[in-house]
Amino acid sequence: MNRHAVPNATLGLPGRPANGGSQPRFYDFDDDVTRLVKWSPSPHGNKACFNELVASRLGQLIDAPILRGIVVYVPDQIIPADHRATGGTAGFHFAVTRMQGENFVAPGHYADIENSSELPAAAVHLAWLAIGDQQGHNQYLQRLEYEDQHGVSKRTKRFRLIDMGQMFGDFNWTPANVTNVHTTYQLPAHLVDHLTRANLASVLNQLTQVSNGLIEECFQDCPDTWGISTADKAAGAQRAILAKGNINNILFNGNPGLRP
């Protein structure tokens, strides 16, 4: 991958997200965007960044409330000493645009969000990809400020999925251990309380209409330095394709308490 084909970091910023187990850091980039960078290799595992990237791409296919993740390049000469001390290295990494907000706290924050219509897509996304470590955390309350068509300042709050590093339930999955598709997935209980089978139906239908080719494309185009083999990409795509075909059983077997 050519470093000049992706945003290049220009400045390492102070501060870090609360409870950031992968030691992510904030950087300014040469396209005037501030992003949260997750390092590759990750302290969590060798596929963590790849999982984040692929899960973000797949999420776009069903309009899940997840930020678009991209590959970025961080040059060696701008990495602050305290970033190096916690795993920061030069090279290609995963990043998302910096969000203002805080970790999502249920049930209170549900009353604040203005994108509750996207909760079914969040649920389908989690169940489809068997995202691990989502019970009780790893959701985010994004706070946005914008101007409406009359120039009046407005504020909104949105539910966001974050931390997709445990796609297929594993930071370090291999072609061998993703062969068997999961048959059930238990959603966070607080999310189940805000869903019905009826409002899940349209997203489930949307997922079944996603072509296998589009899914396969989401597993391509990552840096060679991440060490993701052709076999890895093929096995991961096949797992996602098979899970797509069984998504109703995965979702409803794991969450029998869903209301009609």
Residues 6+ apart with CB under 8 A from 159: 65, 104, 109, 110, 113, 115, 116, 118, 119, 122, 139, 140, 141, 142
Q: How far apart are CA 76 and CA 93, in angstroms?
A: 13
pLDDT of 2 reads 95
- Domain span at residue 25? 3-254
Residue carrying structure tokens 């000493």: 81
| Sign of the dihedral defined by the CA atoms of residues 194, 199, 204, 210, in that order | negative
Q: Classify residue 108: in a domain, yes or no.
A: yes
Q: How far is CA 173 from CA 134, 231, 233, 236, in A?
A: 18, 12, 11, 9
CA-wise closest residue to 124 among 198, 80, 187:
187
Our measurement of the distance from residue 144's CA atom to the centroid of its chain's CA atoms, rounded to an integer in Å, reads 19
SS3 82: helix
Residue 260 lies in a domain: no
Tell me if 259 is assigned to some domain. Answer: no
Mean pLDDT computed over 113-130? 98
Overall number of domains in the chain? 1
Structure tokens, 134: 């989502």
Q: Is residue 217 part of a domain?
A: yes
pLDDT digits 0-9 by tens, 180-212: 999 999 999 999 999 999 999 999 999 999 999
- pLDDT at position 212 is 98
> pLDDT grade, residue 230 (50/70/90)?
very high
pTM of the model: 0.95
Q: Is 41 exposed, middle or buried (0-12, 13-18, 19+ CB in 10 A)?
A: middle
